[in-house]
Amino acid sequence: MYKLAIIGSGNGSNFEAIVKWFQDKGVEITCLSDAEDAFILKRAENLGIKHQFLPFEQNFEYFSKNEFDLVVLAGYMKILPENVLKAMGKVINIHPSLLPAFKGKGAIKKAFLAGVKVSGVTVHYVDFNIDAGKIIAQYPVFIDNSMHLDEFEAEIHEIEHRLYPIVIEKVLEDKVFDFQDLMKSVCSKKKEGGGCGGCGQH
Ligand code: GAR
């Protein structure tokens, strides 16, 4: 059984998408947050997932004592120092832009206000440079002239929720992420409503 730690500071919508994806797939998930009142912890409670408040200063001690196959950052808003990253082992993050563009906080709004016509989502390994580890997967979101910020934001989150769980599964299994996997998952969803989603497999 794989052991997965998901660590976030806020809302936890990615956490919830990941939990739903791994339901009945034999993955043990632990939810951690550096913010005691973060909604991610409430979601974990509601979903019956082991969870705890983990103050930033206790990260090193916690991850030195608790081993995981993979640590997943999902809206974790603090910068992790080198010793903590080493103790964590393999760490990945999701960022709401096409890195290396729009690093740091507020990336969705920054991209929108900059007037770019394409932004998107990046899943990457975390190393000692901020938002700059090796890219595992990216997915574009196009911004047409009539698109509002809230529509753009909603589309970014929808892509995040579809992309992150599949990439996590591949990383856990030590397999290469392939866009066919994403297409198939979209396709099977569409098939329930009738018709192929265009994955080329039917
Ligand atoms: C997500 O959009 C994620 O990409 C972003 O925080 C949000 C968390 O949402 N992360 C970063 O900006 C990291 N630099 P969630 O708590 O609902 O999953």
pLDDT for 130 equals: 79
pLDDT at 188 over 90: no
Q: For residue 44, name the pLDDT band (cuts at 50, 70, 90).
A: very high
Q: Tell me how far apart the alpha carbons of residues 86 and 110 are, in angstroms, rounded to a whole number.
A: 31
For residue 13, give the H/E element and its range: helix 13-21
Integer-rounded Cα Rg, in Å, for the chain is 17
Note the pLDDT of residue 146.
Answer: 95
**Of all atoms in ligand 1, which is nearest to the CA of residue 157?**
2
Which mutation among 42, 95, 110 tests ligand 1's pocket best, with the greatest number of atoms within 8 A of CB?
95
Percent of the chain with pLDDT over 90: 84
Domains delineated in the chain: 1-89 (3.40.50.170), 94-190 (3.40.50.170)
- Asked if the model's pLDDT at residue 190 lies above 60, the reply is no
Return the number of other C-beta atoms located less than 10 Å from residue 118's C-beta.
Answer: 11
Residue 190 Cα to ligand 1 middle (Å): 26
pLDDT at 196 over 80: no
Q: Is 31's pLDDT higher than 60?
A: yes
Buried b vs exposed e over 66-97: b needs ≥16 C-beta within 10 Å? eebbbbbbbbbeeebeeebbebbeebbbbbbb
| Known catalytic residue at 202 | no
pLDDT tens-digit map of 151-160: 999 999 999 9
**Is residue 71 helix, strand or coil?**
strand
Q: Judge whether residue 186 has pLDDT over 70.
A: no
- C-alpha 200: how far from chain center: 27
Residue 29 — φ and ψ, nearest 5°?
-105, 135
pLDDT of 197 strictly over 60: no
* Helical packing angle, 149-172 and 179-192, nearest 10°: 110
